[in-house]
Amino acid sequence: MANIKERTFIAIKPDGVQRGLVGDIIKRFEQRGYKLVAMKMVHADTKMLEEHYKDLAGKPFYAGLVKYMNSGPIVAMVWEGLQAVSTGRKLLGATNPLDSAPGTIRGDFCIQTGRNICHGSDAVDSAEREIALWFKKEELVQWDHHSAPWIYE
């Protein structure tokens, strides 16, 4: 059986929180069949954000990104399920919302890249790194989803 325990890190950025889209975003992942195993609202400090976005440190938008992400609360989440990383990215839509299809989170709720509502891990290894950065091991809740037999063969 395929790995139904794959995990991804999804963060609702300050624009998504401020606009009251947290519930809508969670709903999309739940409706798809993914299992929420961790969630918290945080106001991340600069050090945490610099570590999170260290792969973008050389980009011209890096300083503005860190400042923006530090401007308000973020809802950090871990979702689990079959191909959670790649499907999570599809649910979010393209990084540039104008390239996102209708029906995706970014395609439905935003217009500009600098305010694209969510961050999603782009690979399994980056998901593992991001989850470990944002959550302590004991914050990841192990539980059995009662609908799993209706979601997975």
Give yes or no for a contact between 11 and 119, defined as CB atoms under 8 angstroms apart: yes
Q: Is 13 annotated as contributing to ligand binding?
A: yes
Q: Is 28 annotated as contributing to ligand binding?
A: no
Q: Is 8 annotated as contributing to ligand binding?
A: no
d(CA 137, CA 47): 20
d(CA 9, CA 70): 18
Q: How far is CA 152 from CA 8, 25, 29, 145, 146, in A?
A: 18, 22, 15, 11, 11
Q: Is 29 annotated as contributing to ligand binding?
A: no
Both tokens assigned to 13: 């950025």
Active-site residue 145, yes or no? no
Catalytic position from the list 43, 52, 119, 145 = 119
Q: Is 61 annotated as contributing to ligand binding?
A: yes
Q: Is 106 annotated as contributing to ligand binding?
A: yes
Task: Point out the annotated binding site for ATP.
Answer: 13, 61, 89, 95, 106, 116
Hey, which residues are catalytic here? 119
Residues making up the binding site = 13, 61, 89, 95, 106, 116
